[in-house]
A = this chain, B = another copy of it.
Amino acid sequence: MDFGYDAKTADLIEGVTAFMESHIYPAEKVFHDQLLAAGDDRWAWDSTPILQELRAEARSRGYWNFFLPGERGAGLTNLQYAPLAEITGRSGHLAPAVFNCAAPDTGNMEVLNEFGTDEQKAQWLEPLLEGQIRSAFAMTEPDVASSDATNIELSIVRDGDEYVINGRKWWITGAMNPNAKIFIVMGKTDPSAPRHAQQSQVLVPRDTPGLDVVRPMEVFGYDDHSHGGHAELRFTDVRVPVSNVIAAEGAGFAIAQARLGPGRIHHCMRAIGLAERAIEMMCDRATGRVAFGRPLAEQGVIRDWIAESRVRVEQLRLLVLKTAWLMDTVGNKGAHTEIQAIKIATPRTVQWILDKAIQVHGAGGLSQDFPLAESYAAIRTLRFADGPDEVHKNSLAKAEIRKRQNS
Protein backbone atom coordinates (compact mmCIF):
# COMPACT_ATOMS: atom_id res chain seq x y z
CA MET A 1 0.00 0.00 0.00
CA ASP A 2 1.38 3.34 -1.04
CA PHE A 3 -0.42 6.66 -1.13
CA GLY A 4 2.17 8.52 -3.16
CA TYR A 5 1.90 9.35 -6.85
CA ASP A 6 4.34 7.69 -9.24
CA ALA A 7 7.00 9.85 -10.88
CA LYS A 8 5.17 10.23 -14.18
CA THR A 9 2.00 11.36 -12.46
CA ALA A 10 3.86 13.70 -10.14
CA ASP A 11 5.52 15.34 -13.14
CA LEU A 12 2.25 15.79 -14.94
CA ILE A 13 0.59 17.20 -11.81
CA GLU A 14 3.35 19.75 -11.52
CA GLY A 15 3.24 20.70 -15.18
CA VAL A 16 -0.50 20.93 -15.48
CA THR A 17 -0.78 22.90 -12.25
CA ALA A 18 1.72 25.41 -13.58
CA PHE A 19 -0.16 25.63 -16.86
CA MET A 20 -3.42 26.24 -15.02
CA GLU A 21 -1.86 29.15 -13.20
CA SER A 22 -0.07 30.67 -16.13
CA HIS A 23 -2.72 30.14 -18.82
CA ILE A 24 -6.10 28.89 -17.74
CA TYR A 25 -7.19 30.79 -14.64
CA PRO A 26 -6.32 34.11 -16.28
CA ALA A 27 -8.38 33.10 -19.32
CA GLU A 28 -11.59 32.21 -17.48
CA LYS A 29 -13.13 35.63 -17.68
CA VAL A 30 -12.03 36.10 -21.26
CA PHE A 31 -13.73 32.87 -22.25
CA HIS A 32 -16.89 33.86 -20.44
CA ASP A 33 -16.95 37.28 -22.08
CA GLN A 34 -16.30 35.93 -25.57
CA LEU A 35 -19.22 33.56 -25.18
CA LEU A 36 -21.55 36.28 -23.94
CA ALA A 37 -20.51 38.54 -26.80
CA ALA A 38 -21.33 35.76 -29.24
CA GLY A 39 -25.05 36.14 -28.56
CA ASP A 40 -26.99 33.47 -30.41
CA ASP A 41 -23.73 31.72 -31.25
CA ARG A 42 -22.96 31.27 -27.58
CA TRP A 43 -23.45 27.52 -27.93
CA ALA A 44 -20.44 27.29 -30.23
CA TRP A 45 -18.17 27.52 -27.24
CA ASP A 46 -15.34 25.59 -28.86
CA SER A 47 -14.99 28.21 -31.58
CA THR A 48 -13.97 30.99 -29.21
CA PRO A 49 -10.55 32.41 -30.02
CA ILE A 50 -9.32 32.01 -26.46
CA LEU A 51 -10.09 28.32 -26.43
CA GLN A 52 -8.39 27.80 -29.76
CA GLU A 53 -5.26 29.48 -28.48
CA LEU A 54 -5.18 27.57 -25.24
CA ARG A 55 -5.69 24.25 -26.98
CA ALA A 56 -2.81 24.92 -29.33
CA GLU A 57 -0.59 25.81 -26.40
CA ALA A 58 -1.63 22.79 -24.35
CA ARG A 59 -1.14 20.43 -27.24
CA SER A 60 2.30 21.80 -27.94
CA ARG A 61 3.22 20.77 -24.41
CA GLY A 62 1.81 17.31 -24.85
CA TYR A 63 -1.13 17.99 -22.55
CA TRP A 64 -3.65 16.35 -24.80
CA ASN A 65 -6.12 13.47 -24.64
CA PHE A 66 -4.98 12.56 -21.15
CA PHE A 67 -8.14 10.53 -20.66
CA LEU A 68 -7.48 7.98 -23.41
CA PRO A 69 -5.38 4.95 -22.56
CA GLY A 70 -3.22 3.35 -25.22
CA GLU A 71 -1.24 4.83 -28.05
CA ARG A 72 -3.99 6.98 -29.51
CA GLY A 73 -4.17 8.84 -26.20
CA ALA A 74 -1.69 9.84 -23.54
CA GLY A 75 -1.19 6.29 -22.36
CA LEU A 76 -2.20 6.95 -18.75
CA THR A 77 -3.97 4.55 -16.42
CA ASN A 78 -7.16 5.62 -14.68
CA LEU A 79 -5.14 6.15 -11.52
CA GLN A 80 -2.66 8.34 -13.34
CA TYR A 81 -5.28 10.40 -15.05
CA ALA A 82 -7.40 10.89 -11.92
CA PRO A 83 -5.35 13.64 -10.25
CA LEU A 84 -5.11 15.47 -13.58
CA ALA A 85 -8.87 15.34 -13.93
CA GLU A 86 -9.10 16.82 -10.45
CA ILE A 87 -6.90 19.71 -11.46
CA THR A 88 -8.92 20.43 -14.58
CA GLY A 89 -12.10 20.35 -12.48
CA ARG A 90 -10.87 23.45 -10.71
CA SER A 91 -11.71 25.32 -13.90
CA GLY A 92 -14.38 22.99 -15.14
CA HIS A 93 -15.79 25.20 -17.87
CA LEU A 94 -12.49 25.67 -19.58
CA ALA A 95 -9.66 23.34 -18.58
CA PRO A 96 -11.08 19.97 -19.64
CA ALA A 97 -11.77 21.35 -23.10
CA VAL A 98 -8.30 22.86 -23.35
CA PHE A 99 -6.78 19.42 -22.88
CA ASN A 100 -9.40 17.75 -25.12
CA CYS A 101 -10.66 15.91 -22.08
CA ALA A 102 -14.20 17.26 -21.91
CA ALA A 103 -17.27 15.08 -21.48
CA PRO A 104 -19.15 13.73 -23.32
CA ASP A 105 -16.48 13.65 -26.04
CA THR A 106 -14.21 11.62 -23.82
CA GLY A 107 -16.69 8.79 -23.43
CA ASN A 108 -17.55 8.90 -27.11
CA MET A 109 -13.90 8.69 -28.09
CA GLU A 110 -13.38 5.76 -25.71
CA VAL A 111 -16.29 3.94 -27.29
CA LEU A 112 -15.12 4.58 -30.83
CA ASN A 113 -11.57 3.66 -29.90
CA GLU A 114 -12.62 0.37 -28.37
CA PHE A 115 -15.57 -0.66 -30.53
CA GLY A 116 -15.42 1.40 -33.72
CA THR A 117 -14.65 0.06 -37.20
CA ASP A 118 -11.72 1.50 -39.09
CA GLU A 119 -14.10 3.59 -41.13
CA GLN A 120 -15.86 4.89 -38.06
CA LYS A 121 -12.54 5.72 -36.52
CA ALA A 122 -11.30 7.53 -39.57
CA GLN A 123 -14.48 9.52 -39.99
CA TRP A 124 -15.29 10.43 -36.40
CA LEU A 125 -12.62 9.39 -33.92
CA GLU A 126 -9.75 11.13 -35.70
CA PRO A 127 -11.34 14.59 -35.85
CA LEU A 128 -12.49 14.18 -32.25
CA LEU A 129 -8.98 13.28 -31.12
CA GLU A 130 -7.76 16.30 -33.06
CA GLY A 131 -10.34 18.47 -31.35
CA GLN A 132 -11.83 19.53 -34.68
CA ILE A 133 -15.39 18.50 -33.93
CA ARG A 134 -17.50 17.75 -30.86
CA SER A 135 -19.98 14.98 -30.22
CA ALA A 136 -22.93 14.00 -28.05
CA PHE A 137 -24.27 10.85 -26.46
CA ALA A 138 -28.03 10.49 -26.76
CA MET A 139 -29.37 8.12 -24.15
CA THR A 140 -31.77 9.77 -21.65
CA GLU A 141 -35.44 9.91 -22.59
CA PRO A 142 -38.16 12.05 -21.07
CA ASP A 143 -40.76 9.33 -20.65
CA VAL A 144 -38.84 6.51 -19.02
CA ALA A 145 -36.61 6.08 -15.97
CA SER A 146 -33.45 6.10 -18.04
CA SER A 147 -31.21 5.05 -15.18
CA ASP A 148 -32.15 1.57 -16.27
CA ALA A 149 -30.84 1.41 -19.82
CA THR A 150 -33.19 -1.42 -20.65
CA ASN A 151 -36.07 1.04 -20.38
CA ILE A 152 -34.87 2.98 -23.41
CA GLU A 153 -37.67 3.22 -25.97
CA LEU A 154 -36.30 5.07 -28.97
CA SER A 155 -37.00 2.82 -31.92
CA ILE A 156 -34.32 1.74 -34.37
CA VAL A 157 -35.81 -0.39 -37.13
CA ARG A 158 -33.80 -1.93 -39.90
CA ASP A 159 -35.08 -1.24 -43.39
CA GLY A 160 -32.80 -2.78 -45.99
CA ASP A 161 -29.36 -1.21 -45.64
CA GLU A 162 -30.62 1.47 -43.38
CA TYR A 163 -31.83 2.00 -39.84
CA VAL A 164 -34.93 4.14 -39.35
CA ILE A 165 -34.92 5.95 -36.06
CA ASN A 166 -37.92 7.42 -34.23
CA GLY A 167 -38.23 8.79 -30.73
CA ARG A 168 -37.27 11.50 -28.25
CA LYS A 169 -34.21 12.23 -26.15
CA TRP A 170 -33.45 14.99 -23.68
CA TRP A 171 -30.62 16.23 -21.50
CA ILE A 172 -28.25 15.51 -24.39
CA THR A 173 -25.22 17.42 -23.18
CA GLY A 174 -23.22 19.33 -25.76
CA ALA A 175 -25.80 18.90 -28.47
CA MET A 176 -26.78 22.56 -28.69
CA ASN A 177 -23.31 23.27 -30.06
CA PRO A 178 -23.54 23.32 -33.89
CA ASN A 179 -20.05 21.86 -33.99
CA ALA A 180 -21.26 18.71 -32.23
CA LYS A 181 -21.17 16.90 -35.56
CA ILE A 182 -21.85 13.35 -34.48
CA PHE A 183 -24.32 11.81 -32.03
CA ILE A 184 -24.04 8.33 -30.59
CA VAL A 185 -27.68 7.33 -30.22
CA MET A 186 -28.90 4.55 -28.00
CA GLY A 187 -32.13 2.81 -28.96
CA LYS A 188 -33.97 -0.42 -29.23
CA THR A 189 -33.32 -2.57 -32.28
CA ASP A 190 -34.95 -5.78 -31.14
CA PRO A 191 -37.69 -5.58 -28.50
CA SER A 192 -38.08 -9.36 -28.62
CA ALA A 193 -34.44 -10.13 -27.72
CA PRO A 194 -33.30 -10.92 -24.17
CA ARG A 195 -33.50 -7.85 -21.96
CA HIS A 196 -29.85 -6.80 -22.23
CA ALA A 197 -29.58 -7.51 -25.95
CA GLN A 198 -32.38 -5.31 -27.21
CA GLN A 199 -30.39 -2.10 -27.44
CA SER A 200 -27.95 -0.84 -30.02
CA GLN A 201 -25.82 2.27 -30.36
CA VAL A 202 -25.84 3.98 -33.72
CA LEU A 203 -23.87 6.90 -35.12
CA VAL A 204 -26.13 9.69 -36.35
CA PRO A 205 -24.53 12.73 -37.96
CA ARG A 206 -25.98 16.00 -36.75
CA ASP A 207 -27.28 17.08 -40.14
CA THR A 208 -29.22 13.91 -40.87
CA PRO A 209 -32.75 14.77 -42.03
CA GLY A 210 -35.43 14.15 -39.44
CA LEU A 211 -33.21 14.94 -36.48
CA ASP A 212 -34.50 18.07 -34.75
CA VAL A 213 -32.84 19.90 -31.92
CA VAL A 214 -36.02 20.96 -30.16
CA ARG A 215 -34.84 23.17 -27.34
CA PRO A 216 -32.19 23.68 -24.69
CA MET A 217 -32.93 22.29 -21.24
CA GLU A 218 -32.06 24.58 -18.37
CA VAL A 219 -30.55 23.65 -15.00
CA PHE A 220 -31.81 26.06 -12.43
CA GLY A 221 -31.64 29.18 -14.65
CA TYR A 222 -28.49 28.19 -16.54
CA ASP A 223 -28.42 26.98 -20.13
CA ASP A 224 -24.85 25.71 -19.74
CA HIS A 225 -23.90 27.12 -23.12
CA SER A 226 -20.25 27.04 -22.13
CA HIS A 227 -20.21 23.34 -22.74
CA GLY A 228 -22.86 23.05 -25.40
CA GLY A 229 -26.01 23.00 -23.29
CA HIS A 230 -28.38 20.08 -22.87
CA ALA A 231 -30.65 19.54 -25.83
CA GLU A 232 -34.00 17.93 -26.30
CA LEU A 233 -33.93 16.00 -29.57
CA ARG A 234 -36.66 14.58 -31.74
CA PHE A 235 -35.97 11.79 -34.25
CA THR A 236 -38.56 11.46 -37.02
CA ASP A 237 -37.82 8.77 -39.56
CA VAL A 238 -34.14 9.51 -39.31
CA ARG A 239 -32.20 7.20 -41.64
CA VAL A 240 -28.58 6.10 -41.35
CA PRO A 241 -26.73 3.26 -43.08
CA VAL A 242 -26.50 0.01 -41.10
CA SER A 243 -22.74 0.41 -41.11
CA ASN A 244 -23.30 3.15 -38.53
CA VAL A 245 -24.04 0.67 -35.78
CA ILE A 246 -21.30 0.47 -33.17
CA ALA A 247 -19.85 -3.00 -32.59
CA ALA A 248 -23.00 -4.93 -33.37
CA GLU A 249 -26.75 -4.91 -33.14
CA GLY A 250 -27.71 -5.74 -29.58
CA ALA A 251 -24.43 -4.54 -28.11
CA GLY A 252 -25.82 -1.22 -26.91
CA PHE A 253 -26.26 -2.15 -23.29
CA ALA A 254 -22.81 -3.66 -22.95
CA ILE A 255 -21.18 -0.62 -24.54
CA ALA A 256 -23.09 1.67 -22.20
CA GLN A 257 -21.81 -0.29 -19.21
CA ALA A 258 -18.24 -0.20 -20.47
CA ARG A 259 -18.50 3.55 -20.80
CA LEU A 260 -19.73 4.02 -17.28
CA GLY A 261 -16.71 3.39 -15.08
CA PRO A 262 -14.13 5.79 -16.52
CA GLY A 263 -16.79 8.44 -16.99
CA ARG A 264 -17.65 8.33 -13.36
CA ILE A 265 -14.06 8.55 -12.21
CA HIS A 266 -13.59 11.62 -14.39
CA HIS A 267 -16.75 13.29 -13.15
CA CYS A 268 -15.91 12.63 -9.53
CA MET A 269 -12.32 13.80 -9.74
CA ARG A 270 -13.34 16.99 -11.51
CA ALA A 271 -15.96 17.56 -8.81
CA ILE A 272 -13.27 17.20 -6.17
CA GLY A 273 -11.18 19.82 -7.94
CA LEU A 274 -14.16 22.11 -7.88
CA ALA A 275 -14.60 21.44 -4.17
CA GLU A 276 -10.96 22.30 -3.54
CA ARG A 277 -11.35 25.58 -5.31
CA ALA A 278 -14.50 26.31 -3.31
CA ILE A 279 -12.59 25.66 -0.09
CA GLU A 280 -9.93 28.10 -1.21
CA MET A 281 -12.57 30.70 -2.00
CA MET A 282 -14.17 30.05 1.38
CA CYS A 283 -10.86 30.60 3.16
CA ASP A 284 -10.08 33.72 1.15
CA ARG A 285 -13.46 35.26 1.79
CA ALA A 286 -13.37 34.34 5.45
CA THR A 287 -10.01 36.02 5.77
CA GLY A 288 -10.92 39.12 3.84
CA ARG A 289 -14.44 39.84 5.00
CA VAL A 290 -15.09 41.60 8.28
CA ALA A 291 -18.43 41.40 10.04
CA PHE A 292 -19.32 42.58 13.50
CA GLY A 293 -15.78 43.76 14.00
CA ARG A 294 -13.69 40.73 13.10
CA PRO A 295 -12.88 38.60 10.06
CA LEU A 296 -15.31 35.81 9.32
CA ALA A 297 -12.33 33.46 9.70
CA GLU A 298 -12.47 34.01 13.45
CA GLN A 299 -16.04 32.80 13.76
CA GLY A 300 -16.36 29.28 15.08
CA VAL A 301 -19.19 28.23 12.81
CA ILE A 302 -17.28 29.19 9.70
CA ARG A 303 -14.19 27.39 10.91
CA ASP A 304 -16.37 24.39 11.49
CA TRP A 305 -17.44 24.48 7.83
CA ILE A 306 -13.86 24.77 6.64
CA ALA A 307 -12.71 21.87 8.80
CA GLU A 308 -15.67 19.76 7.73
CA SER A 309 -14.94 20.49 4.10
CA ARG A 310 -11.36 19.35 4.46
CA VAL A 311 -12.27 16.21 6.41
CA ARG A 312 -14.94 15.20 3.91
CA VAL A 313 -13.01 15.88 0.75
CA GLU A 314 -9.93 13.97 1.95
CA GLN A 315 -11.97 10.85 2.51
CA LEU A 316 -13.82 11.23 -0.74
CA ARG A 317 -10.73 11.68 -2.88
CA LEU A 318 -9.15 8.52 -1.54
CA LEU A 319 -12.18 6.47 -2.41
CA VAL A 320 -12.23 7.81 -5.94
CA LEU A 321 -8.53 7.08 -6.35
CA LYS A 322 -8.97 3.59 -4.99
CA THR A 323 -11.78 3.04 -7.46
CA ALA A 324 -9.50 4.10 -10.29
CA TRP A 325 -6.86 1.70 -9.01
CA LEU A 326 -9.37 -1.13 -8.85
CA MET A 327 -10.48 -0.48 -12.41
CA ASP A 328 -6.86 -0.60 -13.50
CA THR A 329 -6.10 -3.77 -11.56
CA VAL A 330 -9.26 -5.87 -11.45
CA GLY A 331 -11.43 -4.20 -14.05
CA ASN A 332 -14.71 -2.34 -14.05
CA LYS A 333 -16.67 -5.30 -12.83
CA GLY A 334 -14.42 -5.85 -9.84
CA ALA A 335 -14.76 -2.17 -9.02
CA HIS A 336 -18.55 -2.21 -9.28
CA THR A 337 -19.34 -1.46 -5.63
CA GLU A 338 -16.76 1.30 -5.45
CA ILE A 339 -18.02 2.86 -8.69
CA GLN A 340 -21.47 3.01 -7.14
CA ALA A 341 -20.08 4.33 -3.90
CA ILE A 342 -18.30 7.29 -5.48
CA LYS A 343 -21.41 8.06 -7.49
CA ILE A 344 -23.31 8.31 -4.22
CA ALA A 345 -20.68 10.05 -2.16
CA THR A 346 -19.30 12.67 -4.53
CA PRO A 347 -22.20 14.91 -5.50
CA ARG A 348 -23.59 15.32 -2.02
CA THR A 349 -20.20 15.99 -0.47
CA VAL A 350 -19.28 18.61 -3.02
CA GLN A 351 -22.77 20.11 -2.92
CA TRP A 352 -22.45 20.53 0.84
CA ILE A 353 -19.12 22.29 0.48
CA LEU A 354 -20.45 24.58 -2.22
CA ASP A 355 -23.44 25.46 -0.09
CA LYS A 356 -21.16 26.56 2.72
CA ALA A 357 -18.86 28.42 0.35
CA ILE A 358 -21.91 30.28 -0.93
CA GLN A 359 -23.04 31.08 2.59
CA VAL A 360 -19.65 32.56 3.43
CA HIS A 361 -19.92 34.80 0.37
CA GLY A 362 -23.29 36.25 1.28
CA ALA A 363 -25.91 36.91 -1.34
CA GLY A 364 -23.16 37.58 -3.87
CA GLY A 365 -22.34 33.89 -3.67
CA LEU A 366 -25.61 33.12 -5.41
CA SER A 367 -25.00 35.59 -8.21
CA GLN A 368 -23.08 35.85 -11.42
CA ASP A 369 -20.23 37.55 -9.55
CA PHE A 370 -18.86 34.23 -8.31
CA PRO A 371 -18.83 30.80 -9.93
CA LEU A 372 -20.29 29.11 -6.85
CA ALA A 373 -23.98 29.00 -7.66
CA GLU A 374 -23.33 27.79 -11.18
CA SER A 375 -21.07 25.08 -9.82
CA TYR A 376 -23.73 24.13 -7.32
CA ALA A 377 -26.24 23.74 -10.13
CA ALA A 378 -23.83 21.56 -12.08
CA ILE A 379 -23.08 19.32 -9.12
CA ARG A 380 -26.74 19.03 -8.24
CA THR A 381 -27.36 17.42 -11.62
CA LEU A 382 -24.83 14.71 -10.77
CA ARG A 383 -27.30 13.37 -8.22
CA PHE A 384 -29.31 12.32 -11.28
CA ALA A 385 -26.61 11.52 -13.84
CA ASP A 386 -26.56 7.79 -14.66
CA GLY A 387 -29.59 7.41 -12.43
CA PRO A 388 -30.57 9.01 -9.14
CA ASP A 389 -28.54 8.24 -6.02
CA GLU A 390 -31.39 6.21 -4.61
CA VAL A 391 -31.12 3.63 -7.39
CA HIS A 392 -27.44 3.14 -6.72
CA LYS A 393 -27.91 2.94 -2.98
CA ASN A 394 -30.58 0.34 -3.36
CA SER A 395 -28.37 -1.74 -5.62
CA LEU A 396 -25.33 -1.38 -3.41
CA ALA A 397 -27.30 -2.45 -0.35
CA LYS A 398 -28.64 -5.51 -2.08
CA ALA A 399 -25.11 -6.52 -2.96
CA GLU A 400 -23.97 -5.95 0.61
CA ILE A 401 -26.76 -8.11 1.98
CA ARG A 402 -26.09 -10.83 -0.59
CA LYS A 403 -22.37 -10.80 0.20
CA ARG A 404 -23.20 -11.33 3.85
CA GLN A 405 -25.63 -14.14 3.11
CA ASN A 406 -22.97 -15.90 1.09
CA SER A 407 -20.28 -15.52 3.74
Whether, in the assembled complex, A286 has its beta carbon less than 8 Å from a beta carbon of chain B, the answer is yes
**Is B283's CB under 8 angstroms from A400's CB?**
yes
Interface of chain A, helix or strand or loop or mixed? helix
Across the interface, which residues of B come within 8 angstroms of A290, CB to CB?
145
A303 interface hit (Cβ, 8 Å): yes
**A325-B1 CB under 8 A given contacts A221-B221, A344-B311, A394-B300:** yes
Please indicate the chain B residues that have their CB under 8 angstroms from the CB of A407 in the complex: 280
Does A162 make an interface contact (CB < 8 A)? no
Report how far A373 CA is from B344 CA in the complex, Å: 21
Q: Contact partner of A221 among B171, B223, B299, B394, CB < 8 A?
A: B223
One complex includes copies of this chain to the number of 4
A292, A390, A396: residue with the most chain B Cβ atoms closer than 10 Å: A390
Task: Say yes or no: is A30 at the interface (Cβ < 8 Å to chain B).
Answer: no
Question: Which residues of the partner chain B approach A25 to less than 8 Å between Cβ atoms?
Answer: none
Cβ-based interface call for A376 (8 A): yes
Q: A310 and B1: CB pair below 8 A?
A: no
Residues of chain A having any CB pair with chain B under 8 Å: 1-6, 9, 79, 140, 142, 145, 147-148, 171, 217-223, 279-280, 283-284, 286-287, 289-292, 297, 299-304, 306-308, 310-311, 314-316, 318-319, 321-322, 325-326, 329, 337-338, 341, 344-345, 358-359, 362-364, 366-368, 373-374, 376-377, 380-381, 383-384, 388-394, 396-398, 400-401, 404-405, 407
